[in-house]
Homo-oligomer: A and B are copies of this chain.
């Protein structure tokens, strides 16, 4: 199976590329190094040091004996995408090549436009290229659980059966995203449903929870880390807490800390993605998974990091609640379904309570880098103050 990984240089992309190559798949990656560039612009960097993609590919080949191909380019460039697909004709695509930061999308108009236009444009280019040159290929597209927002009812996997005023239908679940980034993923989802409807493209739309962790089997085996972002723009809350614990500053929970989200480990994320590739949808099918195993509130995360951090680092760790820069419900119902991957045979192998110590250890090994970039930790991007520039 020839798999194109769009966004191979990213956190999930790199881990997934090694996994698929390790398992004998023919992998070709695409990247424009957008994330590296944008992270540098906010004065930050990956906490775990990563070499250039060329060097990582070379090291991986030396250590594993397996070659991963690469094509540099921007998925939002129609000519590049059409040429790439025409030339390479992959059997499957994993599309991770999107602007993936909610705070970045909320900095101002420039970033809002960039996020909405690039993410939508790349996905549109891809479906047109697929329809033209690889109409039977499988597109596995990364969405986010954040597309759903936090409704007061259970969240199904993409579609739900409803009765309304005496009649019945199966409809897409209405989305309520919380940033331009999250909305860009909703727009993609809508566009993918339509590409499936008019051209019958085979699509898996993955509503993924927050991914955590620094290690996968291949990262450990070959000693080639994937990126780990912790700054206010590009990092996750958990990554921020681990970094704060390591350098001895209070963990900063946004607002009341009762915001609850779905999570899964990086190891399990790439296991799920490979499973999706190995068990593709039927011809003409558009399917949606909710891809997460656990859910935690922010307060549960800070409590866990504080407890384990105190144990490992041997000092007291404070938790402070700061004004929430986002516009989100502080307290809400949260019960998303997630059965479809299990029905395909997926079994979770990790959980955060088991992984937290190794994350803290890997972060602490890079304490000096965290101190160097510590000015990037506190929130500067405020949803209500998104600027018109």
Check A40 for interface membership: any CB of B closer than 8 A. no
Taking the closest CB of chain B, its distance from the CB of A150, in whole angstroms, is 10
CB atoms of B113 and A124 under 8 A apart: yes
Task: Please state the number of chain copies in the assembly.
Answer: 2
- Taking CB atoms, residues of chain B closer than 8 Å to A129 are 388
CB atoms of B109 and A388 under 8 A apart: no
Check A72 for interface membership: any CB of B closer than 8 A. no
CB atoms of B109 and A116 under 8 A apart: no
A128 to B199, CA, bound (A): 35
Residue of B nearest to A337 (CB): B165
CB atoms of A169 and B190 under 8 A apart: no
CB atoms of A171 and B176 under 8 A apart: yes
Residue of B nearest to A383 (CB): B198
- Taking CB atoms, residues of chain B closer than 8 Å to A383 are 198
Check A152 for interface membership: any CB of B closer than 8 A. yes
The stretch that binds B, out of A179-187, A251-259, A370-378, is A179-187
A120 to B118, CA, bound (A): 12
Taking the closest CB of chain B, its distance from the CB of A140, in whole angstroms, is 21
CB atoms of A327 and B167 under 8 A apart: no
Check A82 for interface membership: any CB of B closer than 8 A. yes
- Taking CB atoms, residues of chain B closer than 8 Å to A125 are 109, 113
Additional A-B contacts beyond A113-B124, A163-B163 (20; CB < 8 A): A78-B110, A108-B128, A116-B121, A120-B120, A128-B388, A131-B386, A131-B388, A132-B387, A151-B169, A152-B167, A152-B168, A152-B169, A153-B162, A153-B165, A172-B176, A180-B191, A180-B194, A183-B187, A183-B194, A198-B384
| 8 residue pairs, one from A and one from B, having the closest CB atoms | A132-B388, A152-B169, A109-B128, A153-B167, A153-B164, A128-B388, A171-B174, A172-B174
